[in-house]
Amino acid sequence: MSATVDTTVLLSGYQLIEQLYHGSKTLVYRGIRRKESVAQPVVIKLLQRDYPSFSELLQFRNQYTITKNLNIPGVVRPSSLEPYGNSYALVMEDFGGVSLGTYSQTHSLSLVDVLAIAIVIPSPKLTYLGLFFSSFS
């Protein structure tokens, strides 16, 4: 997607570079952690609403807690959950990936590619935990 950064989003210790995703519930940015002496690339996920409900906050915190403890190849583990306004910012390592939606806009996927992705996404470990890729949107 790579949209311009919303300059009203200020998160202490981080510099936002580009918006990766803009959904009905969440925003995802690529940025740099400036808390340590070495700048570290990160991806930051925020709730869309300025005043999220208790349920939304709880779900966001649970997402952090569950994914922090997963050790499954292909599942990005968050590095921290930062306070952000009346909400949280979920900070994850940036490994330089792009969303499947963005990739499919610029590349054609063969049937073999689609089937390979379909096999990997609904991992038995994620299904056991009641997690699916759509729950992270």
* Interval 86-105 mean pLDDT: 83
Read off the pLDDT of each residue in 85-97 and give the average, rounded to a whole number: 89
Give the mean model confidence (pLDDT) for residues 58-73.
Answer: 88
Domains and CATH numbers, the chain: 14-97 (3.30.200.20)
Confidence check: pLDDT of 137 > 50:
no
Q: Please tell me which residue, 114 or 122, carries the higher pLDDT value.
A: 114
Residue/partner pairs of 108-114 with CB below 8 Å, 24 or more apart: none
pLDDT band at 134 (very low <50, low <70, confident <90, very high): very low
pLDDT at residue 100 is higher than 50:
yes
Sequence-distant contacts of 132-137: CB under 8 A, at least 24 apart: 135/63, 136/63, 136/67, 137/23, 137/25, 137/26
Question: Which stretch of 5-9, 39-43, 106-110 has the lowest confidence by average pLDDT?
Answer: 5-9
Percent of the chain with pLDDT over 90: 42
pLDDT at residue number 136: 44
CA distance 83 to 61: 11
In percent, the amount of the chain with pLDDT more than 70 equals 80
- Tokens at residue 71, please? 């050790």
Give residue 101's pLDDT band: very low, low, confident or very high (50, 70, 90): confident
Position 128 confidence tier, pLDDT thresholds 50, 70, 90: very low
